[in-house]
Structure formats: C-alpha cells, structure tokens
C-alpha cells in the first residue's frame, strides 16, 4: 500500500500543502494528501463497486468522468486511490501516480478566467512544477461533501508536520524531499 517509485520534490518554502499528484488521462491532478487513505493496484481493489481495505469501505466513483477527462485504458501503472475523511470516502482509478509534493501555498494559483462554470467547484487552483502543470482537485467535491470557502487553506501544513486538524489522515504516506529543484526535472 506504500507509494513505491515516487519522485522527489523540491522543498516548499513557507506554509505548504502536501498533495498527491496523479495522472488522470493526460492531466496531472493534485489531491490534498491528508485524506489519502491508501494507494492500491487494480487487482487488490477487485471488481466490486466498493473497495474494502483495512476494515474500511470505499465506494468507487468514476472521477475521470466526473472531471470530464478521457481516461486511458488501464495499464500496469493504474492505481486505485482510497480517499476519505470522517464524513465520507471514495475510491477512484488514476492512470498513474507521480508522487507526493509539498507545494507552498503562494504557488497554488487561482484558476484562469476561462474557468467560469462548474469546474470552479471541482478545482481549487493550479500549480506549475518543472515538468508539468497540475490541477488541484477540490477534496470536498471529490467526496461529494458541501463546499466551503477557502477549502484549500484547510490543508496548509501548520509549522510542524506532526500537528493535526480535523482534515488530517492518520495514515502517513512517505515523502522524499530534495533541496535541488533541478533534480525533479532530471527524475521526470
């Protein structure tokens, strides 16, 4: 269930948000990682409508369809993300996992003005790395929970990574941090 083969990320400066970056179709989608409960293979998930993992049940959802992104046929890199908090949970397939990344809060930019409709509820912003542009998914929308203003700010890591909030998961995913942003581009 670990994050095998993850890539390094440059250390974020200032308040940061830890996100899990995954491929959905050709798009890089970032999910605030505090609600990631696990990453499993398609075989581990099985064919049922609900995924049961470590005594918890996750309803499957077609996230690519909900995002209106054409998903590729499953490959060996495809994974099922188990995502949830105390109020809800979902599982969804991604075409690949890029890794965990700490993004400083100022790096997450608002959506450009051409995003005018429902996508403003689905996405909280974008950030640019050395090798891709990632759309930040609204975790409340992913779980089909009521939206909140400034939802992304609830995921900012306060000073210490050991601090907890009602948004944090008990599951900790590994993260490798590099001090050299050029190494991220070389690893990609």
| pLDDT tens figures, 30-66 | 999 999 999 999 999 988 889 999 889 999 999 999 9
Q: What is the pLDDT of residue 13?
A: 62
pTM higher than 0.85 for the full model? no
Report the pLDDT value the prediction gives residue 3, as an integer from 0 to 100: 52
Partners of 104 in beta bridges: 16
What is the rounded CA–CA span in Å between residue 60 and residue 67?
A: 15
What's the whole-number average pLDDT of the chain?
Answer: 80
Inform me whether the pLDDT recorded for 9 exceeds 90. no
Q: How confident is the model at residue 157 (pLDDT cuts 50, 70, 90)?
A: confident
All structural domains of the chain with their residue ranges = 9-158
Give the mean model confidence (pLDDT) for residues 117-144.
Answer: 93
150: phi > 0 → left, psi -120 to 50 → alpha, else beta; which? Answer: left
Domain 9-158 fold: OB fold (Dihydrolipoamide Acetyltransferase, E2P) (2.40.50)
């Amino acid at each position: 269930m670990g994050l095998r083969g993850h890539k390094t990320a440059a250390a974020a400066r200032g308040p940061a948000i830890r996100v899990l970056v995954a491929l959905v179709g050709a798009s890089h989608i970032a999910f605030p990682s505090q609600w990631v409960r696990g990453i499993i293979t398609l075989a581990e998930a099985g064919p049922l409508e609900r995924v049961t993992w470590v005594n918890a049940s996750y309803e499957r959802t077609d996230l690519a369809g909900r995002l209106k992104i054409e998903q590729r046929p499953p490959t060996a890199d495809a994974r099922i993300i188990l995502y949830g908090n105390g109020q809800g949970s979902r599982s969804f397939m991604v075409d690949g996992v890029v890794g965990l990344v700490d993004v400083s809060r100022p790096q997450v930019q608002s959506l450009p003005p051409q995003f005018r409709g429902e996508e403003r509820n689905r996405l909280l912003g974008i950030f640019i790395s050395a090798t891709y542009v990632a759309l930040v998914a609204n975790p409340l929308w992913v779980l089909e929970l009521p939206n909140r203003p400034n939802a992304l700010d609830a995921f900012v890591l306060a000073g210490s990574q050991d601090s907890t909030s009602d948004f944090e998961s008990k599951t900790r995913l590994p993260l490798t941090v590099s001090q050299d942003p050029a190494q991220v581009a070389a690893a990609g």
